[in-house]
Amino acid sequence: MIVDYRIPDNEVDEIDYIADEIDVLDFVMDDVEGGGGGYEVVDDYDMVTDTSSAQARRGKDIQGIPWERLKITRESYRRTRLEQYRNYENIPLSGDAVDKKCKQKQKGANYYEFFHNTRLVKPTILHFQLRNLVWATSKHDVYLMSNYSIMHWSSLSYNLSEILNFSGHVAPTEKHAGSLLEGFTQTQISTLAVKDDFIVAGGFQGELACKRLDKQGVSFCTRTTYEENAITNAVEIYDSLSGAMHFMASNNDGGVREYDMERFQLTNHFRFPWPVNHSSLSPDRKLITVVGDHLDGLIVDSSNGKTVASVEGHLDYSFASAWHPDGRLFATGNQDKTCRVWDLRNLSNPVSVLKVNMGAVRSVRFSSNGQFLVVAEPADFIHIYDTKLNCEKRQEIDFFGEISGVSLSPDDETLYIGVWDRTYASLLQYNKRHKYGYLDSFV
């Protein structure tokens, strides 16, 4: 990954890897700002309100964008975005090569339906390639990054609260071997993971901060490395074979490190010859997918870090991976604008190549029951595939804005999407659709 590309709060308008119209109103208000609009522009933020499912059914834009007041239609602006959005590539023209070879899967499915758009929640991103900053621990509880803060949103009480603020000094309140008792100051959080009562935040300088949600303070702080190339690219929390909670951190120094979350001790450290952008553990805890600044993905033994297989086919670097709960299938997301699904029984070719619309695949998630695969682009689009139909049909969720993260609740009932935009930043909530039979009314 690019080593030093961050997005400071005061420099969001200097981003050059994405289309110039990163913010919707920057584009659609051009004529108005030039004096030829014919109406006065009021504060854009004040114009935007939450949107409920009932309002959306009556025709309100799910993000509250007042298309009727603008000099461009939604359809026209969508065409412009598709034409002008520039996908970031480490391997030149990797996306173009995919466009020529691959066709998109049939869209039109409807697995999740819009429920609410919350404007009170303001998700942000730090590094344009790292988009794992939204995590749902239940269908009502969501954790996300907003500038320097980890925030909690309850969709049940509509309450937003701050869990941890990294803008000042953060130090551990517990004593563990290897913990930095002096803590950190002004830590820039590049990635996040939340599971049950545990939070692990990874920083731009290799920092790791661990917190228990049922306790005050921070439990553990450490630096994975003091090398310059130290970004924490991804974190995954999981139950180990012993039943104890562990987490795994993927770093730009080529390391994959495993820690236990009882004593916060390093239990494994595997090294690879290129920056590791993401790693994920198989359901049986025996294998790890490792992807990074290399065209191929690796399958390694979780006990010793030795490579047992590799997958070939992507045309650029990968930043996402996930295992299907059956332990047989796994998916990788790449800057070549594809998500590829692989079968451990035959890794010579992917079982599915899922081409997206505009940009790199930055996040992939399988639902807990394995039926759905959620694929997130950097902006504007989330794709949901039905694995029972071999991913041949998909639902396309269409909006405007950079995606800070996407998360399914553990029961698969709710899908949350973090949208980063100066005017339309929000948290989108989609609920799973259910088909009820006649006899259900008697239950």
What is the per-residue pLDDT across 311-350, written as a single tens digit (0 to 9) for each?
999 999 999 999 999 999 999 999 999 999 999 999 999 9
User: Two tokens at 254?
Assistant: 């080529």
- 43: number of Cβ within 10 Å: 8
Kind plus residue range of the DSSP H or E element containing 77: helix 74-84
**More confident position, 307 or 9:** 307
pLDDT at 229: 85
Residue 179: φ, ψ to 5°: -80, 140
The residues facing 16 across adjacent strands are: none
Q: Confirm if 34 and 71 have CB atoms less than 8 A apart.
A: no
End-to-end CA distance of the chain: 53
Confidence of residue 438 (pLDDT cuts 50, 70, 90): low
pLDDT at 291: 98
Across the range 98-121, mean pLDDT stands at 95
User: Two tokens at 187?
Assistant: 């830590």
User: What is the spatial distance between Cα 354 and Cα 340, in angstroms, rounded to a whole number?
Assistant: 6
Q: What percent of the chain lies above the pLDDT cut of 90?
A: 84
User: What is the spatial distance between Cα 438 and Cα 7, in angstroms, rounded to a whole number?
Assistant: 53
Domain assignment present for residue 110? The answer is yes
Q: What is the CA radius of gyration of the chain?
A: 21
3-state secondary structure of 95: helix
Domain assignment present for residue 127? The answer is yes
pLDDT in tens, 370-383: 999 999 999 999 99
Number of structural domains found in the chain: 1
pLDDT in tens, 50-107: 999 999 999 999 999 999 999 999 999 999 999 999 999 999 999 999 988 899 999 9
Domain assignment present for residue 405? The answer is yes
User: What is the spatial distance between Cα 317 and Cα 335, in angstroms, rounded to a whole number?
Assistant: 6
Domain assignment present for residue 33? The answer is no
Domain that holds residue 112: 97-432
pLDDT at 437 over 90: no
User: What is the spatial distance between Cα 340 and Cα 332, in angstroms, rounded to a whole number?
Assistant: 5
CATH number at residue 325: 2.130.10.10
Domain assignment present for residue 155? The answer is yes
User: What is the spatial distance between Cα 233 and Cα 251, in angstroms, rounded to a whole number?
Assistant: 5
pLDDT in tens, 12-45: 333 333 333 345 545 443 332 233 333 233 344 4
pLDDT at 9: 42
**More confident position, 227 or 16:** 227
Kindly list the distances between the CA atom of residue 386 and the CA atoms of 12, 39, 369, 391, 396, in Å, as whole numbers in the listed order: 36, 46, 11, 5, 12
The one-letter code for the residue type at 443 is V
**More confident position, 7 or 438:** 438
